[in-house]
């Protein structure tokens, strides 16, 4: 990889320095520089990069991220909802059966209007 760089760059000291660290400056300089920007988005430096946090970027761009927590709540709610739905269905079924059965035992509600 540093081969093409060494070709156009005649200064030999630049090649060895660039290998261990980065060509722009000595090894101690490029090391802390790239480390800072890399750490900033990581989370330790929220002021410069608050949105690009490790947990925020995947959640914001990824719609499923929001669905994730919602799914967990849904699961819990589903259990409650299932019970409520069962009760509601039972009630509705009973009401429907009684109303439809009494009004139009001949056929569907459409016939009931004729009977009425």
Identify the DSSP state of 25.
Answer: S
CA dist 85 to 70, 98, 100, Å? Answer: 19, 19, 21
**What is the pTM for the complete model shown?**
0.12
Break the chain into its structural domains and give their ranges. Answer: 1-48, 64-116
Which regions in the chain score pLDDT beneath 50? 14-19, 21-22, 25-50, 53, 55-62, 64-65, 68-70, 104
Check if the beta carbon of residue 105 is closer than 8 Å to that of residue 115: no
pLDDT digits (tens, 9 = 90+) for 32-62: 444 444 444 444 444 444 455 454 444 444 4
Nearest residue to 2 via CA among 13, 15, 21, 12: 15
């Amino acid at each position: 990889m540093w081969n093409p760089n060494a070709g156009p760059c005649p200064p030999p000291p630049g090649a060895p320095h660039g290998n261990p660290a980065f060509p722009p400056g000595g090894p101690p300089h490029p090391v802390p520089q790239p480390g800072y920007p890399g750490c900033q988005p990581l989370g330790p430096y929220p002021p410069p990069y608050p949105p690009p946090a490790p947990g925020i970027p995947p959640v914001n761009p990824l719609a499923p991220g929001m669905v994730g927590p919602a799914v967990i709540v849904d699961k819990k709610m589903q259990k409650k909802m299932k019970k409520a739905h069962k009760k509601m269905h039972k009630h509705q079924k009973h009401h429907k059966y009684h109303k439809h059965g009494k009004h139009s035992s001949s056929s569907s509600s459409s016939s009931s209007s004729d009977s009425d």
